Amino acid sequence: MSVTTAPRPQRLHRLERPAITGVLVREVVNFSSYWRSATFSSTVEPTIYLLAFGFGFGALVNNINGLEPVQFVATGTVATAVLFSAAFPAMFGTFVKYQFQRTYDAILAAPVDTEELVTAETLWIATRAGVYGCVPMVVAVFFGLEPSWGMLTVPLIGWVSGFGWANFGIMTAGFAKSIENFNYIVSAVLTPLFLLAGSFFPLDSFPTWLQVLGNLNPLHQTVELVRDAVFGTWEWNDLARLGLLVVFGLIMWRIAIYAMTRKLID
Amino acid sequence: MERELAIRLRGAVKRYGEITAVDGLNLSVPVGTCVGLLGPNGAGKSTTMRLLTAQSIADEGEIEVLGFRLPEESKMARAQCGVVPQLDNLDVTLTVEQNLLVFSHLYRVPHTERKAAIERGLEMARLVDRRDTRVDKLSGGMRRRLLIARALIHRPRLVLLDEPTVGLDPQVRQQLWALIDALRTEGTTILMSTHYIEEAQRLADTVLIMSHGECAATGPPSELVLKHAGREVLEVYGPPARLAEVEAQAQSEGLRTRRTGTSISILNVDGFRGFEGERRPANLEDVFVLLTGEEIG
């Protein structure tokens, strides 16, 4: 007996648009069922940080690095919102989808490869993070942050940063043996990065070695880019900051694909 | 005449550390037939299914699906396959129609055909009037039907059914058998794993009995039964000592036996009159237990 050969379809390639679109459609349709809770958690928490730290510091100091405390914290909290709406949904969402819901088994039985699956998931999460990241900034406008044209670039900055953090979350989920493993990542990685981002207080108030580490923190680069965009203080080194975020995103993307391939294909 | 194969496995081996889940398996599924993989839990059926979608990669051997070599060309094979998993992985917060919509995209149903494909899926699953119902509000049987309709949304040439009726009550199981039988009648190639004897006997043109990752026997159910267990089986009941005595005596006569809890079954007793007992037609379970020494559900 011979193996059937006809009809032979067009050869399929890596990173195909229909495969990525298919996964994105699933995410968008699913989002319609949980957008309220996702939007609530991704916006309320950073907004509380903004109000608490912004007004809290405002009572203690008049300005931080030449900015009013609310302005300083509002622009810094954009990065926090990006982190919260990218890394955490990516970590927990990915883990739940492969471990409990078995969603990825169903998707990978269709003509979708792990590389496409991870890429589509991270594109979707990055897009959400780009949008949600703007919320503290918009809220701050009502508390005195002056609108500027540069604010229009903030969703893009949030997207680029969110792409890296989404991949970071997927990577973490891919390597995690149980959902409890996330506690180590949150405590030992995300919390220090979050506090060492310059969101709530300037990095130059830290010891030199911490400043060096802080400058390698993609979240800090996000904070600086957002501030320069909102206040129109662009400098050439912002290109380097953007480059660092892109490199961070690309490295995380490839590692996330590797981790998920190990997890999903045995 | 040469018959085309939808699936061809030659010497497929899959190991997980010390455990060999699939051990040199050969499997041929001719186009347009229904082949049943029959075996107990842990026999390697689900691993075999995963090998066919390249979600598991074989350590040794050759695998071809619809003419595509795996794992290199698995994406092209998957585009023409439908997979019904053992575990329900529907999106439970979505409606019935949304689940079909999502998979019409994942299986690349052309835009112009998508609406008709979804309607066809709803009709096949007999869920037209439940199209707007969230999946978590459906019964187990409805969810299974939806899983099958989801796998068929793109009219696949090959359908892989992994324990399609496991855990379902008898009425629902029979509904699904009717659905699978209709598919087979339409000419869709089906590979179905099951540990239900009756399911394999009713639906499969050919059965491959798996045990410990290997093929213990393969052939049409009736031929397997005739070859290994004959037409009739004699069930002899009695206390354990009596059963041991009958077993020894039957074996000395050159007859094959198998223990069935409270009785001993003497196989292939067509015309043999040596013992008192109840005669019944031989069945696939006799073959399975005889060949593998394992009881199945």
Dump pLDDT digits (tens) for B75-102.
999 999 999 998 899 999 999 999 999 9
**Which residue from B4, B56, B103 is facing A3, i.e. has the nearest CB?**
B4
CA-to-CA separations, A123 to A167, B20, B216, in angstroms, rounded:
9, 38, 48
pLDDT at position B191, please?
Answer: 96
More confident residue, A2 or A13: A13
Contact state of A106 with B5 under an 8 Å Cβ cutoff: no
List chain A residues with CB under 8 Å of B75.
Answer: 12, 111-113
- Our count of domains for chain A comes to 1
Among A104-113, B140-149, B279-288, the minimum mean pLDDT is found in B279-288
pLDDT at position B1, please?
Answer: 47
CA–CA separation, B276 and B264 (whole Å): 12
Specify if A3 maps to a domain. Answer: no
The domain B231-281 is placed in CATH, from the list 2.30.30, 3.30.70, 3.40.50, 1.20.58, at 3.30.70
Helix (H, G, I), strand (E, B) or coil at B40: coil
Give residue limits of the domains in chain B. 5-220, 231-281
Contact state of B67 with A108 under an 8 Å Cβ cutoff: no
* pLDDT tens digit sequence for B134-178: 999 999 889 999 999 999 999 999 999 998 888 788 888 888 888
Specify if A11 maps to a domain. Answer: no
Average pLDDT, rounded, for chain B: 90
Q: What is the dihedral of CA B104, B109, B112, B113, to 10 degrees?
A: -80
CA-to-CA separations, A105 to B6, B36, B63, B86, B276, in angstroms, rounded:
22, 22, 20, 11, 53
Specify if A112 maps to a domain. Answer: yes
Question: Contact, A214 vs A194, CB < 8 A?
Answer: no
Percentage of chain A beyond pLDDT 90 is 63
Contact state of B2 with A2 under an 8 Å Cβ cutoff: yes
To the nearest whole Å, the CA of B106 is away from the closest chain A CA by 4
More confident residue, B171 or B17: B17
pLDDT at position A49, please?
Answer: 80
Q: Which two tokens stand for residue B150?
A: 């989801």
Angle between helices B140-151 and B170-185 in degrees, nearest 10? 20
pTM for this predicted structure: 0.90
pLDDT at position A1, please?
Answer: 56
Q: Is B267 left (phi over 0), alpha (psi -120 to 50) or beta?
A: beta
Q: Is the pLDDT of residue A124 over 80?
A: yes
**Which residue from B76, B92, B106 is facing A107, i.e. has the nearest CB?**
B106
Specify if A24 maps to a domain. Answer: yes
Q: Which amino acid is at B47?
A: T
> Which residues neighbour B55 within 8 Å (Cβ) at sequence distance 6 or greater?
A105, A108, A109, A264, A265, A266
Task: Tell me the longest C-alpha to C-alpha distance in chain A.
Answer: 84
pLDDT at position B224, please?
Answer: 92
Among A61-75, A230-244, B20-34, the minimum mean pLDDT is found in A61-75
**Which residue from B64, B83, B101 is facing A3, i.e. has the nearest CB?**
B64
Specify if A4 maps to a domain. Answer: no
Cis peptide before A136 (omega within 30 of 0): no
Q: Which two tokens stand for residue B36?
A: 């049943």
* pLDDT tens digit sequence for A174-228: 999 999 999 999 999 999 998 888 888 888 888 899 889 889 999 999 999 999 9
Cis peptide before A147 (omega within 30 of 0): no
Q: Which amino acid is at B121?
A: G
Among A5-14, A120-129, A156-165, B254-263, the minimum mean pLDDT is found in A5-14
The domain containing residue A191 runs over which residues?
17-264
CA-to-CA separations, B104 to A22, B113, B176, in angstroms, rounded:
8, 9, 22
> What is the CATH topology of the domain spanning B5-220?
Rossmann fold (3.40.50)
**Which residue from A26, A108, A264 is facing B102, i.e. has the nearest CB?**
A26
List chain A residues with CB under 8 Å of B80.
Answer: 9
To the nearest whole Å, the CA of B99 is away from the closest chain A CA by 8
Specify if A247 maps to a domain. Answer: yes
Terminal CA-CA length for chain A: 30
List chain A residues with CB under 8 Å of B103.
Answer: 106, 110
Question: Contact, A89 vs A169, CB < 8 A?
Answer: yes
Residue bearing tokens 């292939």: B268
pLDDT at position B296, please?
Answer: 44
Segment B53-74 shows an average pLDDT of: 95
Specify if A12 maps to a domain. Answer: no
pLDDT at position A203, please?
Answer: 87
Specify if A240 maps to a domain. Answer: yes
Q: Which amino acid is at A73?
A: V
Residue bearing tokens 């869709």: B188
Q: Is the pLDDT of residue B273 over 80?
A: no
Position B2 confidence tier, pLDDT thresholds 50, 70, 90: low
